[in-house]
Amino acid sequence: MVQSSATDVDTYLAEASAERRPALHRLREMCRSELAGHTETMAHGMPCYQREDTAEFAFANQKRYLSLYVREDVTAAFADRLAAHDMGKVCLRFRSPDHIDWSLVRDLLRATAATRGPVC
């Protein structure tokens, strides 16, 4: 998927392939559950979770990956656990929904919710 022009997360998820849609729904539900006090919005063509107008977490359905965008301070705190994954500076990439480490995702979300730091 190229950058989506969806104006809301429901539309964004509906655009996803049938193979990826369940994982994207699960990501959304985890974000809603773990990121209390954050607002769900669309930014830069992907679902984004903001606290006080500051983007702190996002996910994207890209052509080759499902990507998570996590604050840099959170990724630094989880460097040991992230070392085995395909990781950019703040972008965690999974080639397939089957490869998502859901426990890690939940822990990243909880750390994001528990702290404040620079935007992702």
Tell me whether residue 88 is in a domain.
yes
Q: Which domain CATH number covers 100?
A: 3.90.1150.200
pLDDT tens figures, 26-62: 999 999 999 999 999 999 899 999 998 889 999 999 9
What is the total count of domains within the chain? 1
pTM for the structure as a whole: 0.92
Domain region containing 97? 9-114
Tell me whether residue 96 is in a domain.
yes
pLDDT tens figures, 7-30: 999 999 999 999 999 999 999 999
Q: CB of 59 within 8 A of CB of 29?
A: no
Tell me whether residue 119 is in a domain.
no
First to last CA, the chain: 21
Tell me whether residue 2 is in a domain.
no
Edge-to-edge strand ranges of the sheet holding 46-51? 39-43, 46-51, 54-61, 66-70, 91-94, 86-87
Tell me whether residue 49 is in a domain.
yes
